[in-house]
Amino acid sequence: MTDTTLSEALQEAYASAPSNTTILHTLELRHPSFVDEDGKPTAIRVVRDNISHACALEKNAPMNAGEYVEFVSMAFDLELPPVEAIPVPEITLTLDNVSTELMQYLDRAIETQEMIEMTYRPYLSTDCSYPQMDPPITLVITEVSADISKISATARMMDIGNKSFPAENYTVKKYPGLSR
Name, in order, each residue with C-beta under 8 angstroms of 173's C-beta and a sequence gap of 6 or more. none
pTM: 0.79
pLDDT value for 167 = 59
Sign of the alpha-carbon torsion through 169, 171, 175, 178: positive
pLDDT value for 166 = 59
In the beta sheet, which residues pair with residue 145?
Answer: 152
Q: Cα(124)–Cα(110) distance, rounded to whole angstroms?
A: 34
CA atoms within 13 A on the CB side of 28: 23
pLDDT value for 36 = 86
pLDDT value for 1 = 44
Residue 105 parent element (H or E): helix 100-110
Question: What's the residue count for the chain?
Answer: 180
pLDDT value for 90 = 79
φ, ψ of residue 178 to 5 degrees: the values are -75, -25
pLDDT value for 129 = 94
Divide the 180 residues of the chain into consecutive groups of 10 and give the mean pLDDT of each group. Answer: 72 79 92 90 92 94 94 88 68 83 83 88 93 89 83 77 59 79
